[in-house]
A and B are shown apart, each in its own frame.
Chain A
Amino acid sequence: MDTDTRIGSGDGRFPETRHSAIAAARSGTPADRAVAHESIVAAYWKPVYKYIRIKWKSSNEDAKDLTQGFFLRALEKDFFDGYRPEKGTFRTYLRVCLDAFLANERQASQRLKRGGGTILLPLDFTTAEGELQQIEIAQDDSPDRFFAREWTRSIFENALLALREECAAQGKQIHYDLFERYDLAASDARATYASLAAEFGLSSVTVNNYLASVRRGFRRIVIRILRELTSSEEEFRSEARALLGAEL
């Protein structure tokens, strides 16, 4: 049963601060498209790799080749040109393309002909494989849910990398360290504000303020990445809800 309030057409007033990589991948100049493609790969390669490993039950080596193959094919064949924002989110479209690609590959068994085994994109599969060993996979995880969660993880990881760089550049290392100790710690190992204050030689109020400021930065970066990865206001809203609102 649909229990969510539906509000017709989007009428967003948030400033669009960043150009959409999705729009550029579909219609920009070749140089724009290459940059856009890079952004898409950065956000999606890990979810794609993990999805192939877990949901298509491929071996480590096969999954590496297929991930490379998928993104290269997307670039060569302009897969992303076919995306129509009015029909759904880019994330869903990409997963549908991926499923079709994998089904094709499996059927034709042409993986080796494509020159399998050669690393073409600089992707850190060792880390991704290591992460896979730690993933808690629920029995009832649908492909959609699995892909969405890994996509969230990938976006947050990218946002955290950007946040760390930003904090370092602005001389806010202590802010980031606090954030890492508090917000990136496992819930059972999370320190209290008071203990962090004692450890860092700050007052609890300052810890609170520093954390709020880093969280604000993190939120800003997540929104920026989401803007890049969506092509319309409506898609942005829907993905923001999926990223931040739905249950994991």
Chain B
Amino acid sequence: MEWLSNNVLKHLREVSEMPDLPGVRYRLGEVLGRGGMGVVYRAHDLELQRDVALKVLAIGDTDSERMQREAQVLARIEHPGIVPVHDVGTLEDGRVFYTMKLVRGSRLDEYCRQPHPVPDLLRLFQRICEPIAFAHSQGIVHRDLKPANIMVGQFGEVLVLDWGVARVLSEPEPDGEVIGTQNYMSPEQSAGLNTDIDARSDVYAMGCILQGLVQKPAKPLRSIARKATAPERDRRYSSTVELADDIGRYLDGLPVSAHPESILDRARRLLSNNRTLVALILAYLMMRILLFWFART
């Protein structure tokens, strides 16, 4: 047998985990990404003649129930910011797959590698909060929010992905199992206190995302992120709606709930909100002073 070069090795690895699609209506395309639970491929729906994203359990993964659950959770939360599921099924090799809308855009972490004005990033952040707030209203907590699970479309639209580990609040879940991603996981998640998990756990993750989104945040923004990532749940925003509202107040130049203002802070905020007006008034006063000075001399 011939020696396996690195290239052939790579190809073999890809074909080994490729899903077998005879018997289903999809033709397989290239790998789009790998998540904690499965591999996402581009696939072509032969019946409806459209491209879709096909997610299938990675070969070493055995948790097909979790995958099926993800599809069910997604089907429950219809929102423009949440990728809709088209189809769920089982491949010939026994692996569960589901197809969803093919999202075009870049992941938030990739998107942020390009420079963007802070207000644009904050407005984007507000849009991310919307589908999450909607899911919360349906009793579902994402539990694994991180930049890699957020897609930014060509026109700035956002999509929250990977609901595979979402917590359905109406379903009891025993404590012990730690689910989430380090650096974005709330203390209650890190401690495996699954019964304590609620919307505020996602607020925590959003606070972590906010910290990563803006490199040198202004004081009020720092306070917002600090409040969102407070170790005690009761000190965090109670929902992502509240968090987004505070971001909105910051964007509008208004005081934010997370940051008690000193007189100096307030003056600074008013000055920075009305720079043009202040410049015009100063120009007027300077002009007047100069004119008087010339008149006297």
Interface residues of A, Cβ cutoff 8 Å to B: 1-14, 130-131, 134, 136, 149, 152-153, 156-157, 160-161, 164, 183-187, 209, 212, 215-216, 218-219, 222-223, 226, 233, 236-241, 243-245, 248
- B158 CB to closest chain A CB (Å) equals 19
A7 touches B165 (CB 8 A): yes
**Given A9-B177, A219-B16: A212 in contact with B22 (beta carbons within 8 A):** yes
Q: Are A248 and B22 in contact (CB under 8 A)?
A: no
Given contacts A161-B1, A240-B59, contact A8 B15 (CB under 8 A): no
Do the beta carbons of B148 and A3 come within 8 Å of each other? yes
Q: Is the CB of B22 within 8 A of A209?
A: yes
Contacts of B62 in A (CB 8 A): 10, 12-14, 233, 237
How many Å lie between the Cα of A98 and that of B80 in the bound state?
54
Chain B residues with Cβ below 8 Å from A14 are 62
**Given A6-B182, A184-B4, A184-B8, 15 further pairs, Cβ under 8 A:** A1-B183, A2-B181, A6-B178, A7-B36, A7-B178, A11-B63, A131-B3, A152-B9, A153-B9, A164-B1, A183-B12, A184-B12, A212-B22, A219-B17, A243-B60
Residue B7 CB within 8 A of the other chain: yes
User: What would be 17 A-B contacts, judged by CB atoms less than 8 Å apart?
Assistant: A1-B183, A3-B183, A5-B162, A6-B179, A7-B63, A7-B66, A7-B177, A8-B192, A9-B176, A11-B63, A12-B63, A216-B93, A218-B12, A219-B17, A237-B60, A238-B60, A245-B58
- Smallest Cβ-Cβ distance to B17: which chain A residue: A244
- CB <8 Å contact, A5 and B13: no
Contact at B60–A5, with CB atoms within 8 Å? Answer: no
Q: Is B144 an interface residue (CB 8 A)?
A: yes
Bound form: Cα–Cα A239–B61 in Å: 11
When distances are taken between beta carbons in the complex, the residues of chain A under 8 Å from B181 are 2-6
A153 to B63, CA, bound (A): 27
A168 to B65, CA, bound (A): 37
- Alpha-carbon distance A10/B66, docked complex (angstroms): 12
Chain B residues with Cβ below 8 Å from A5 are 35-37, 144, 162, 164-165, 179-181
Write out the residue numbers on chain A whose beta carbons fall within 8 Å of the beta carbon of B121: none
Q: How far is the CA of A244 from the CA of B35 in the complex (A)?
A: 13
Counting CB contacts under 8 A, is B227 at the interface?
no
Q: Give a binary string over B161-199; 1 marks a CB under 8 Å from any A CB, 0 the rest.
A: 010110000000000111111110000000010000000
Residues in B whose Cβ lies below 8 Å from that of A241: 58, 60
- A161-B1, A244-B58 known; A4+B22 contact, CB < 8 A: no
The listed residue (A8, A160, A216) touching B178 by CB distance below 8 A is A8
* Set of chain B residues within 8 Å of A157, measured between Cβ atoms: 1, 4
Contact A156 B9 (CB under 8 A): yes
B5→A134 contact, CB < 8 A:
yes
Q: Does B10 contact A (CB under 8 A)?
A: yes
Q: Please name all residues of chain B whose beta carbon is closer than 8 Å to the beta carbon of A4 when the two chains form the complex.
A: 36, 181
A56 to chain B, nearest CB (A): 21
